[in-house]
Every structure is written in C-alpha cells, then in structure tokens.
Amino acid sequence: MALKKMKFKLKAYKNLLFLFIVFFSFINLYSQTEKPKITLEDLWKKYTFYPSSVYGLRSMNNGLYYTTIDKASEINKYSYKTGKKVSTILNINELDTAVIKSLNNYEFSDNESKIIFYINRERIYRRSFTADFYVWDLETKKLMKVSDRGRQQLATLSPDGSKVAFVRNNNIYIKNLISGVEKAITKDGKYNEIINGAPDWVYEEEFSFAKAFAWSPDGEKIAFYKFDESKVKQFDMTMFYDLYPENRQYKYPKAGEDNSIVNIFVYNLLNERSLKMNTGKETDQYIPRIKWTNNSNILSIQRLNRLQNKLDILLADVTNGKSEVVFTDTNKYYVDITDFVSFIENNRYFIYVGEIDGYNHIYLYDLEQKKLKQITKGKWDVTNYLGYDSKNKLFYYTSAEESPLRRSVYTIDFNGNNKKKLSEKDGMNRTEFSKGFKYYINYYSNATTPAFITLHNAKGKLIRILEDNKPLLDTLQFYNYSTKEFFSFTTSENVLLNGYMIKPPDFDKNKKYPVFMTQYSGPNSQEVLDNWSFNWENYLAQEGYIVVCVDGRGTGARGEEFRKMTYLQLGKYETIDQIEAAKYLGTLPYVDKDRIGIFGWSYGGFMSLLCMTKGADYFKAGIAVAPVTNWRYYDNIYTERFMRTPQENPDGYDNNSPINFVDSLKGKLLIVHGSGDDNVHLQNTMMIAEKLIQANKQFDMMIYPNKNHSIYGGNTRYHLFTKMVDFLKENL
C-alpha cells in the first residue's frame, strides 16, 4: 500500500513537473512570438531606434566652460567640471520673437563679445546656403540684423566682434556693427562667371568647404578666393515645381574638362585695397586650402597640381603678395587634402599629416631648419589629428593602430615619445577637446553599444557620463534582433578582407538563407567598423536574410598600398573583391548561393551595377541608388584624383564602367535616382537605362522628383525603403 502511494505521488509529481515545463515553455514561446517586429515605420517615420547624442557644445576660451542651446530657446553656459549651469547667455525672449521663433545655431566672436546666428536657411548645395543673419551683443544686450539688402551667405564676425564679413550675389561685404555701414569689398561677382568668397560647386563638394574667406588674427585683413568659372561648362537640371518646370543651371566641370581659374587675394581694411597673392604661373591647378599663420602678415596657401600628386605649402607675405614654397609632398598616386596643417610655437613649426612612409602619420616641419620630423610611426594609420597642447607640448590624435575596424585616442609628446592611450573601450572612439586641452568629450560605440558619451580630463580620467542611451537599450529589450558578427576571409588572390554579418534572430545553422550584400567600396571609405548601427539591415535580418558587408581593396585604415591600389582602375579590384565575397559566402553551409543580392548608394550604386553585370553569375538581384554609370559623367576633382583624365586613361574609364557591360545582365535590377541630384546627375541613370533598353534587358527604375543625392524629405525615405524591401522580397 505504501509502495502504491509512493508511485501515485511520483506520478503526480511527474504530471505536475510536466505541466510546469509545458506552462513555462508556452510562456517562453509566447514571450518570443509576442515581441514586436521591427518595422520600416520604426526606422523611417518614428525613428524608434535612433540613439540620443550630445550636440552643439562649444568650448569657451578659458576651456573651463562650454555653451549649448537648450530647448531651442536659450544659450546656456555650463561648467565642464561640475556639469552645472553657470548662467544664461541669451534667452529668446530678449529677441524679437515675432521674427526669431527658435535658436538652433550660433557662433561667438573670437573675443566672445558677440554671438552670430541665422534664421530662414535655404540650401544651395551640400554645404552652402543663404539665410538671414543676426548679431547679439552680450554687453549691450542689443540685437542687430546683419543686412536688410538681401539674404547672406557665410556671415562671420571679426575677431573683436566689431564687424561682420559675408557673401551676397558672389561678392564679399563687410558690415561695421558700430557705424552700421555696409560696404562691398569686391564688385565683379557675377552668377556663373565670378565668385568671391565662396567656392564653386566642385570645390565645395570635393575639397569639402563652403567658406572661401578668412579674417586675419588681428582683424585688419581678409584673405579670400576669387573663382573665375566663365570657361567651365554649364549643367542644366530640370526641377518640377510648377506649371512650367524650372531650368536650374550651374557650372559643373566633368572629368577632363576645364576648371575655374582660382586666385587668392588679401583685402586690407586700413587702406581698402585688395592684393593678389603669388600662387605661380600655372592656372590649371587647385588651391584646396588657405590658412592664416599666427602672424597676420603671413598667409599659408596649399597648392595642388591638376594630377593631384604634388602638394606645395606656400607662405605668402600679404604686404607685397610674394610667396615661397616651404614644403612639398609628392606621391606616385595622389596626395590627400586635410585640414590638419597648423602652425605652432610662434610659427616656427607646422603640423603635417600625410603618407610619406606609406601610412598616414603626423609630421612636424621645422621652418627654420627646413627639416621634417616624424612624430607617429608604425604600420597603421592616423585617422584624425585632434590638436596640439602648447602648454604641455603634447599631440592628440585618433588612429587605427589596434585594428582597422576600431579607433582609439592617443597622446604623444613633442619628440614623438611617451605615447599614451586615452580611450579605454574597444570600438569606435571620437573625441572633442575643450580649448586649452583641459577636458574632452568622448563619443563611443561598438557593435552592441549605442552612443556612450563621457567627459574626461586631459589625462583621460572619467569625470561623468553625459549620455548612456539607457532608454534605447530598454526599448531594444522588447525586440528580437541581431547585431554584427565580424569575420575575415582570404580571396583567391591571397588578399585578406574584413566583413560583418547580421544573421536572422532565429538563425538555424541547418537552414539555408538568402544573402543580401551591402557596400560602398569607394576610395578610403569604410563600412566594416565596430560601431553601433540599427537600420534596415536589422529589419532585413528579421525578415530572413543574412546581411553581409565586406570592405574590399581601396578602402581605408590599412595603409596606402591597400587603399590606393585601385588607382587608374576604379571599379576593377573592388568588383573582383565583392565577387570573391559572394563566392566565399556561397561555400558556407547555411547560405543559399543561388540567392545572393547586392546593394549600394552612389559609389556603392556604381559597384552594384558592376557586380550585376561583370559578376552576373554570382548575384541574383541588385539595387543601385544614385549610381555613377560612367566616370566620364562625374566631376573632375574627384574622378581625376583616382583616374587621371579620360584623355590620359581612356581604358581605365571604359573597362570599368557598367554602362559598357549591360549585355551581361542576368539578374533582377532596380535603379533609383533623384531627379534633382546636383552631385551624381540623373544623366547617369538615363544613359544606362537607354543601354539596357537597347540590349533588351528588363529592369525596374524609380525616379524621385526634385530629390537630391541623399533622396530625402517628407515621406521620401519611407517610400524608398519600402520600394527596395518589396523588390527584395519579390526577387531574392
């Protein structure tokens, strides 16, 4: 009887245990299935997964305080050390709120006596715009409108805050804020012919600046560019806004075509005269940078030949216009232009960052001894020069020393010794120092960590956390998602390539999955980085795709030979490497090698088209957004840097332009472009579309009216990504 009772209890226990297992299994299954799915609305309408950051902090001159805009209504002053608000510098209620309804930008004069800001911004190109500028006097609490005679560009306070220089209708003006007098210092500006104080289209896009003038340190002079673009060919672009479309015209020099003739002048406010600086007899050249030294009579000018393989640094005496070459960097490929040239120690030295030994490093040039000294050394690249602390004689920089996939922050002394790593976490670190290098803010992320932003003293000690994105991390707990997994493989040409993979959240190694490859692949770019990203790649992984990105030859942070080997043959080796990646992925047991697709935007779109044609046997579907289809159609500064001119290198252009290989297309293709793209013109898509039609190749195409190279605005991005996702679900 006791035995029967024990058997009954055991049976009852087993039944109860079974019920518990079933119950908790059901709860677990329920919790998994009930987790919300990532939607395109989350990504492109609600921005659910967009990390918070710290924006708009401006260090004050003493390096102890910073300012920022709060709630678009106040500019407040804070202590770096405590994080506490010290004072309110400007409240919008002090202004004419009928005109100025919010604050979202500002700059101090060098002496911090005045603030300049703008409203009613209207975009011109990528970096340029017109607006209505205002100046706020911190002492008198008086608001001044910079000009009532028309919208302005690039309005900039003089160092002492007594004047404003700006550009309007291609001429430079100076407004005296004390007398109220506004005066033009150039008068020959003319649309599509002469530009003073602002760059032409190609300089703005490819040399990455919008302001082409600079106040001298003493505020008595203005150095400025004069562009003569009268011989540059005009590009016409139709904008569909009204009953009759608008024909927009601007100067755009394509590969092998004429550029603007550029000269540098210095205007002296005391004698009211402009003097031309000597930049040599050659006019078919570039002046990618000018910069005042610490001496208001000496202007540095960077001069680059048309082939872009020889860079001269000139020092010009602005009292007579005479100049001398003090340094030259030549390269068998090309020389990159940066903003890192700076003058230190009373103008005895300047900093130069370049690839003189095959890797990007910091150099110190002694102007007295005419001697170059290398500060950083090693088979790795300095990716950002952060500055020089003159008090402690220390250089600060960011490098890829530990891995091309990561960035760390370092300091090193004046003699290139005592290197110290400041950043502590492995991943991507970006740093902004206060003036005087007393504090720095570090922006960190990795593949599993959204922006983690911290404040440190100059020695690296953590003072406090500014942003940890805990709300986003809490939100992500409710979603079933995957993050990047990094991998490397060796191609058949014995080249080691890096990549990342995002697998479906419910990945099963015994299943076979379609693969969607995404890439950019352009010179010195990098997509395979240990940083945070949450976008449509995570959405596609959720939908059952393995998303893969591989950085091929030509990409950055692996030394000069790796990134410049695509010279004269853009597209050749990059395409080989993406095909090699597809082949490698096809060998993995969980990959369906017959269902591999590829995507890219801009240069990446060019690559998608090459892979769908030259690599037609390996890709089932492809998407090309805003693609270059023949480098003959693109601007000359960018294209000739890597390809020289079409006249010098016709085979390099023609043998790697997808427009010439449309007969090879086999898979499904979607091409997308904005009709208002001033950068990669719609012409590129129209030319390859005609070739595809004549080759009797079916393809899909989507044109977004009036949208620029970024294809955004209103509902546009949501529509675009819905279109691309639907295409993939149908064809891959």
Q: Which two tokens stand for residue 489?
A: 């493989």
Q: In angstroms, rounded to a whole number, what is the distance separating the alpha carbons of residues 412 and 414?
A: 7
Instruction: Report which DSSP code applies to 35.
Output: S
Q: Which two tokens stand for residue 511?
A: 């299943």
- Going by C-beta distance under 8 Å and a sequence separation of 6 or more, which residues neighbour residue 183? 173, 174, 175, 176
CB 198 within 8 A of CB 170: yes
Which residue, among 208, 284, 309, 202, has the nearest Cα to 568 in the 3D structure?
A: 309
Pairing state between β 408-413 and 298-305: unpaired
Query: Out of 336, 635, 677, 678, which one is annotated catalytic?
Result: 677
Query: Out of 128, 158, 423, 602, which one is annotated catalytic?
Result: 602
Q: Which two tokens stand for residue 205?
A: 């896009």
CA separation, residue 239 to residues 600, 626, 707, 718 (Å):
25, 17, 9, 22
Is there a catalytic annotation at residue 508? no
Query: Out of 361, 456, 681, 709, which one is annotated catalytic?
Result: 709
Q: In angstroms, rounded to a whole number, what is the distance separating the alpha carbons of residues 354 and 313?
A: 13
Is there a catalytic annotation at residue 602? yes
Q: What is the SS3 assignment for 396? A: strand
Pairing state between β 513-518 and 591-601: parallel
Which residue, among 167, 169, 158, 249, has the nearest Cα to 210 in the 3D structure?
A: 167
Amino acid 209 reads F
Is there a catalytic annotation at residue 296? no
Q: In angstroms, rounded to a whole number, what is the distance separating the alpha carbons of residues 169 and 318?
A: 26
CB 455 within 8 A of CB 68: no
In angstroms and rounded to an integer, the radius of gyration of the C-alpha atoms of the chain is: 29
Contacts from 34-42 at CB under 8 Å and sequence distance 24+?
A: 35/478, 35/479, 35/480, 36/478, 36/479, 37/479, 37/542, 38/479, 38/481, 38/538, 38/539, 38/542, 39/539, 40/536, 40/539, 40/718, 40/721, 40/722, 40/725, 41/718
Displacement of CA 6 from its chain's centroid (Å) = 74
The residues annotated with a catalytic role in the active site are: 602, 677, 709
